[in-house]
Structure 1
Amino acid sequence: MASARVFVARLAGLAVFGPDGERIGKVRDVVVSLRVDSHPPRVLGLVVDLSARRSIFVPMLRVSDIAGSAVTLASGSVNLRSFDQRANETLVLGELLNSPVTVRDSGEDGVVVDVAIEPTRTRDWAITRVAVRFRRTRLARRARVDVHGWENVSGLDVAAAQGADRLLAVFDSMRPADVAAALSRLPDERQHQVVDALDDERLADVFEELSESDQRELLAYLDDDRAADVLEAMSPDDAADLLGELPDDEAGRLLGLMEPGESEPVRRLMRYEWDTAGGLMTPEPITLGPDATVAEALARIRNPEVPPALASMVFVVRPPTATPTGRYLGCVHAQQLLRAAPFELVAGMVDTELSQIGPETGLGGVTRWFATYNLVAGPVVDAQNHLLGAVTVDDVLDHLLPQGWRDRDLGPAEVGRGSANGRPGAHHA
């Protein structure tokens, strides 16, 4: 088994042997994937110099033992292509050493002289310790070096240690909610660099996951034309929530800059109070006419752009099918569609017994509806029996949770997660 803890500087130049004892090369560096939070970064693998004067990447899962003078690999194939560092990867010896850091509990500044890596319970490796050298004092002939836990050292996360291009590369592999959480922790200048670099669609996805205060601040940073473009790319209910936080004149100005077809559903939602079904709903559920087939319905719910909650049911209506629709006939659950023949008509399986939610129903009533029926989406229907939209359980939770809940770190925002091979997209030779 590999050693419990290894300081990386001692690995440099160690011989690397294959499982049969043949010498392959020597260690040049260690590749890690920094995170956007203070949790220890994952070790992806080693850079190994071959005898043929070329370097390859060896995943940590291929390392079976690290002894005092050698590294031994387990059986299995590795990619023999020349090592090519990716944007979300950092070299410990080449980039982390000599980085300026601050010790959190003492406030002292120093530089990194070494880091320790060790295996976790999941067989991954992570950086767990940082050796920091401080300036010499008048009373000390030699500079002091202390070893601290990774969580007690600031300055080595992605935002601090990497350029904006690397940070963006890391964000590309993350969910919008995790990007939003990381973005909120960045200094203003770095936030603005990220916002400028993201396209409107991606930025809209991130905006939907930001807290109200962060939304307002970043929207104020954007010029009006781009702010309107981002609002158009957001879900109408999220855009309405954001505009509802702004002064009336500012919200009116941005609505005026949006395309009429994009602003109209947002204006409709803004007529309702934020804590009613009308204010919570999305005006873009999956709607079908009664003559639609099961195959058509399944094609609609398979659309990857449809959120999972909205894909849980389709709503059958008389024309027009765009909200506000013609007469609402009922809903069909996704599980029913999966059990039916593709050629069957959705009109033959409509659930007419499920009670509807009125647009003026308050948050408490909507919550009780979801608790009663154990569903994740529900129809919002007006007094004239027109479908206005659908409320989803995630929107309800968003308003039930305490203010500022988005600012709390959930912990799983690790970046650069690899395949079983230890590195994203690595190929076997």
Structure 2
Amino acid sequence: MNMLSRIEAAPVTVDASPRPRRPLWQRAGLVVVPIAVIAASGIFIDRDGPAVAAPPPPTVTVASPLVRSVNEWDDYVGRFEASKSVEVRPRISGAVTAIHFTDGAIVQKGQLLFTIDPRPYTAALAEARAGLASAQSDLALARANLDRANRLVADDAVSKSDVDQLTARLRAASASLAAAQARVRARSLDVEFTQIRAPIGGRVSDRRIDAGNLVAAGDTNGTLLTTINALDPIYFTFDGSEALFLKTKRAQQSGAVASPVEVKLQDEGDYRWNGRLDFTDNALDPRSGTIRGRAVLANPKLFLTPGMFGNMRLSSGGTSSALLVPDAAIQTDQARKTVLTVARDGTVAAKPVQLGPVVDGLRIVKTGLAAGDRVVISGTQMAMPGAKVTTRIGRIAPMNAAVAPPGGAPTIGEATFAAR
């Protein structure tokens, strides 16, 4: 018996009996289940791991509104006009022989500007004076005849009718003398008018006619020689709306006294020209709803020129307490203006406000804000209404703080009403 035979003949207990094979789905489950367990355990591990920290609330700068006494002004736009303006025209006709001024110069009242050839008028004056002498002679003769006749009346040497005729001749001679005297005065005026002098003081325009030209006399149809504008004082004319007119009238009824007007030019940042309101028209224009007003300003250096554009502000009276915030803190919510405020718990809220003018870079808030509110002045783009924020305390300060007047409340600039 060979080796193989002995092995086959030996009794087989464990190894010789074949194990039953598992079905395919059970063998696949032995592989899938551990993988699923591992994946599930990984998911639970991720869930049980450290959570991602939420971002901290944004930090904004807050400050209480600045409380100051300010003087609010109404703003007007207008132009300067000469307080007096004259068109220089000749009062007699003739040839211009000389011009005695420089174009654009400052002239004084009575200064010689033009000379018209006086020879025709001098001759006319001499003729008038000769007529005056003749009239004086006729009057003397008529008076002597009447005196002689009056002495003969007592002797009945002269009739009553002759005396009456001599009396009439005396009266006619007196009238002729008066006419001759008037002609002399007229001819003297013509000679005087050959020298054309400045009727007012001011700045003269350029000459419209040169020497050697003939000019015609007349009021409106006469030859225009030049123009003169009086510049000291000078007028500032403007048109105010009916609302501002009513506001000023209401303030006057309550006892407020309007302050002097202040004007700034187009290239100026400050209101440096001072004056007073001296005229308001007697009616509003029904087509535009505006009323014309005028202020007068001193102009000793003649810097202000008619036709120059300017912005004028006029106070309707007294100072008032106002809340001021940076203009950058104002936000626009559709048709309204809002200011972001932060409560004590850090919650942001938007408050609708009614705005006033700008004062030294700060905006006046008329309504909607309290003095104790904490206004977001920096970081407004990170503050959302209803969200939480971290606050940092800041301070609102004007750009140019004015010194308080002695014994009075501190003031800070002056506001200007702008069209909004």
- TM-score normalized with structure 1 length: 0.22
Larger C-alpha radius of gyration, 1 or 2?
Answer: 2
Instruction: Indicate the structure with greater helix content.
Output: 1
Q: Which has the higher contact order (CA 8 A, sep 6+)?
A: 2
- TM-score normalized with structure 2 length: 0.22
Instruction: Indicate the structure with greater strand content.
Output: 2
